[in-house]
Structure 1
Amino acid sequence: MLKIISGKIRRISRLAGSFLMRNVLLLLLMDFKKYGQLSLLFFLQFLLWGSWYVTLGTYAINTLHFNGQQVGIIYTCGALAATLSPLLSGMMADRLIPAEKLLAIMHLSGAVILGLLTQISSFLPFFLTLLLYSILYMPTHALTASLVLQQLSDTARYFPRIRVWGTIGWILAGLTISALAWERTVWPLYTAASISLGLGLYCLTLPHTPPQAAINQPKQRFLESLLDPAFTALFKDKYFLVFGICLILERIPSAFYYSFVNPFMEEIGISHTAAKMAYGQVSEILIMLVLPALLYRWGIRYVLFLGLLFWGLRYGFLILGLEFGQNGWIYLGLVVHGICFNFSNLSAQIYMDKRVPGHLRSTGQGFMTFATLGIGVTIGSPLAGWLVQSNTLPNGQHDWTQIWVYPFIFGVVVAIVFVSFFRVGPYGIKRQSQTSVPGQ
């Protein structure tokens, strides 16, 4: 099986190499200034998130001495914030405030709150402060995606090539934290506060992105946009409901990965865990470069199916690593993150962009954040924390095999349900003119 998987990885790597060369050529055709601005935006967005998010569980367990259940609760902060704030901020960006100014306000405010978080060591104040920060930060994912998508003419072709810089930022954050051995220290939070300050100031230099709904439908009030017929009509489509529900359910197994894979590797004796977690982001870059071709060739349905499927299979690889005592299986569970994330989340963002009218782009991306980082993680993070706490051994170690079985089975079942009931309809990915470039 490893030979088959390694062969597939080599094939994808060759494709990624050719697409990398095409990206260089595309730079000559694209508006370089705009491309650079949007790419740097994604780079800083994920440099910020990656600087603290992955290692927070390790810091909380080893330095603050929180238990597994408390760590699970902490990781619900983003989910709780994502259940409401992205939709509201998306509607504000669609109707009231230019997206770049709203992003600046959120990141500058977030820098102050992260600075406060570095001074807190008890559970309840830490949770409440992180929740406040998450309310400001989580909507920025949807707003960033919406701002970039609004600047592009062929989203399926160009969005992955700009979004890839976010992954590079995440990798750089992980490698830096690992090289400095900061996993168990407060320094990742100091770093995040500094990046948030810089990102907030940078957002003020971004291309002006005015509220599209205010331009197209100036007589419609802000509160009326909560029930905009063009948006609520989506939920009358049974296939869209399958899409939304499965995305929410997919975030339950993904919560296990983000909350506990780093502490898991620390516990079983793997060194430089933050750097090794970046294996997944390296594969994410390779997959992101070939994603446009795969969307055109395979279609959105099967790309989404594979993304959902590998969210479950990755835990099977972790189990095999434990059972056979071979870290190679564990590293494979990290490497497939490129398939998990790009095939499910990034493809879903592109699909959503094609489903909503242009004047509701921010609202649509807000719904994506609500579905992927909101409800599912709200359920998944406490569940993951409870399972870790329930499988704590007398010596303080954990029965990780028993823990990973649940997201493995659940993820595979969600993927099977999705491919059985979802159909694309008229909203597939179609190749546009090869001469079109962003901004035209």
Structure 2
Amino acid sequence: MNLTTRVKLSTMMFLQFFIWGAWFVTMGTYLGKTLGASGTQNATAYSSQSWGAIIAPFIIGLIADRYFSAQKVLGVLHLTGAALLYYITTIPNFDGFLPVIFAYMIVYMPTLALVNSVSFKQMANPSKEFPPIRILGTFGWIVAGTVIGWLGWEANNTLVLTFQMAAVASLILGLLSFTLPSTPPAKKGQKSSMSDILGLDSIGLLKNSSYLVFFLASIAICVPLAFYYNFTNPFLNEVGMQKAAFIQSFGQWSELAFMALMPLFFVRLGVKKMLAVGMLAWVLRYVFFAYGNVGSNYWMLIAGIVLHGVCYDFFFVTGQIYTDNLAGERFKSAAQGFITLATYGVGMLIGSYISGPIVDKWKVSDTVHNWQTIWLIPGGIAAVVLIVFLLFFKDKNQIQTKSGLEIEDEPKGRLEV
């Protein structure tokens, strides 16, 4: 890959996640303070991410994979997104805001797969070349949170500027996309099937009882995850944390650090313990939030945020590796699409619709919530998922993969590597 292509792809990845991080983290605070939205309304707005994840495979499978070059579809979607993000800043009420944010997420979520497709097409060895480019995406999310925190947009109640900032970045990325290397449709001329689009060809993996337990646990653990995404920023601002969006970016720094350490943990722990540690981190995070404050227990709030790296890397990244190794070459892509649809689609959607009414139920006044009770609920859900997982996920046999990682499977299970 030449330097010009590397710079373009790195810039693309930075902007891709800068756009998302620019408004997503603080949207709940914006909705509550600026538009007077309830907890249920806030969660409904965040459910747009899940609906976008559910609809995204149709856009990719029916359009990008068969008719148009990925970089051109990426450009059109981001230019459309820029217009929607700017328009949303002119809307003074939640009823007008909701359909626009839904439309935006239907446009944005497919771009997550498209930036990967454009990147992989230019790489001779994606396993080595992709991580240095993908890490720019996490850095973009961190920069977005840092800008919001240090400019004081939360404290000044000017979070409408986050959408404007994201709109400008989306415009830039939309224009940049048309200069990216050509990525022609991978399945041009081929017929589409519902199984192909949704990744249902990999559903046979669920015949493996251990994988079925993992799959159901993945959906269930995304229910408490929705509480974190939907209400952490409103919670931190309500309890008086300064520069909350900036502090929340510590979770992304943690994600980077634990990602680098994951190979060491794999060797020592194996898949079952890695997944269990990830779920345990979820429980601890909500306990820290429940009992943390901006006084003597300020460290609990920081710890709960920093645990994001353990929660994400140990569960989701480990789960992706586990899925990849069990699926074999034929079903790798389908299996990853299927698990993504189940987690960020179904699991997070359930979590969004559960979290909103719970937050409203424990509202003490117009500006105060009983956050201790609120956070103990997703903590309890995560604890139940962890216990069920430990009881039913069997690791009777250790199988060594080509990558050197130990993947646990049942003796009669089939593993293609």
* TM-superposed deviation, 1:174: 0.4
Report what 2:93 is aligned to: 122
Report what 1:53 is aligned to: 24
Deviations 1:253-296 (A, max 9, x none): 11111111111111111111111111111211211222344345
1:431 maps to 2:394: no
Q: In structure 2, how many angstroms separate the alpha carbons of the residues matched to 1:416 and 1:31?
A: 49
Q: In structure 2, how many angstroms separate the alpha carbons of the residues matched to 1:149 and 1:337?
A: 27
1:264 counterpart SS class = helix
Q: Which amino acid aligns with 1:311?
A: W
* Structure 2 residue ranges without an equivalent (≥5): 405-417
1:203 maps to 2:180: no
Q: Which amino acid aligns with 1:431?
A: S
Correspondence for 1:294 among 262, 265, 275: 265
Deviates more, 1:341-350 or 1:161-170: 341-350
Q: Which has the higher contact order (CA 8 A, sep 6+)?
A: 1
Report what 2:372 is aligned to: 401
Residue 146 of structure 2 contacts residue 246 of structure 2 at CA under 8 Å; is this kept in 1? yes
Q: In structure 1, how many angstroms separate the alpha carbons of the residues matched to 2:320 and 2:97?
A: 32
Report what 2:387 is aligned to: 416
Q: How does 1:364-375 map to 2 (within 5 A)?
A: 364-375=335-346
Deviates more, 1:230-239 or 1:397-406: 230-239
Residue 315 of structure 1 contacts residue 404 of structure 1 at CA under 8 Å; is this kept in 2? yes
Report what 2:84 is aligned to: 113
Q: Which amino acid aligns with 1:246?
A: A
Deviates more, 1:384-393 or 1:239-248: 239-248
Deviates more, 1:49-58 or 1:71-80: 71-80
1:103 maps to 2:77: no
Residue 104 of structure 1 contacts residue 199 of structure 1 at CA under 8 Å; is this kept in 2? yes
Deviates more, 1:409-418 or 1:278-287: 409-418
The RMSD of aligned alpha carbons is 3.1
Deviations 1:363-384 (A, max 9, x none): 5444343223211121112221
Deviations 1:121-170 (A, max 9, x none): 22222111100111111222233345545666766666544432222111
| Residue identity (%) | 38
Q: How does 1:300-339 map to 2 (within 5 A)?
A: 300-322=271-293, 325-339=296-310
1:83 counterpart SS class = helix
1:330 counterpart SS class = helix
Residue 198 of structure 2 contacts residue 341 of structure 2 at CA under 8 Å; is this kept in 1? no
Residue 227 of structure 2 contacts residue 351 of structure 2 at CA under 8 Å; is this kept in 1? yes
Q: Which amino acid aligns with 2:275?
A: L
1:373 counterpart SS class = helix
Aligned residues: 400
2:338 counterpart SS class = helix
Deviations 1:3-57 (A, max 9, x none): xxxxxxxxxxxxxxxxxxxxxxxxxxx8655554444333221111100001111
- TM-score calculated relative to the size of structure 1: 0.80
* TM-superposed deviation, 1:313: 1.7
Q: How does 1:172-187 map to 2 (within 5 A)?
A: 172-183=143-154, 184-185=157-158, 186-187=160-161
- TM-score calculated relative to the size of structure 2: 0.84
Q: In structure 1, how many angstroms separate the alpha carbons of the residues matched to 2:72 and 2:309?
A: 31
* Structure 1 residue ranges without an equivalent (≥5): 1-29, 433-440
Report what 1:378 is aligned to: 349
Q: In structure 2, how many angstroms separate the alpha carbons of the residues matched to 1:405 and 1:74?
A: 23
Q: Which amino acid aligns with 1:85?
A: A
Q: In structure 2, how many angstroms separate the alpha carbons of the residues matched to 1:107 and 1:182?
A: 24
Q: In structure 2, how many angstroms separate the alpha carbons of the residues matched to 1:290 and 1:159?
A: 18
* TM-superposed deviation, 1:415: 2.7
Q: How does 1:137-148 map to 2 (within 5 A)?
A: 137-148=108-119
Deviations 1:65-100 (A, max 9, x none): 112221121111111222233355246444444433
Q: In structure 2, how many angstroms separate the alpha carbons of the residues matched to 1:290 and 1:57?
A: 32
Residue 199 of structure 2 contacts residue 334 of structure 2 at CA under 8 Å; is this kept in 1? no
Q: Which amino acid aligns with 1:175?
A: T
1:261 maps to 2:261: no
Correspondence for 1:80 among 22, 40, 51: 51
Residue 256 of structure 1 contacts residue 380 of structure 1 at CA under 8 Å; is this kept in 2? yes
Report what 1:171 is aligned to: 142
Q: In structure 2, how many angstroms separate the alpha carbons of the residues matched to 1:158 and 1:421?
A: 38
Q: In structure 1, how many angstroms separate the alpha carbons of the residues matched to 2:393 and 2:233?
A: 33
Shift of the 429–156 alpha-carbon distance from structure 1 to 2, 3 Å rule, reads: farther
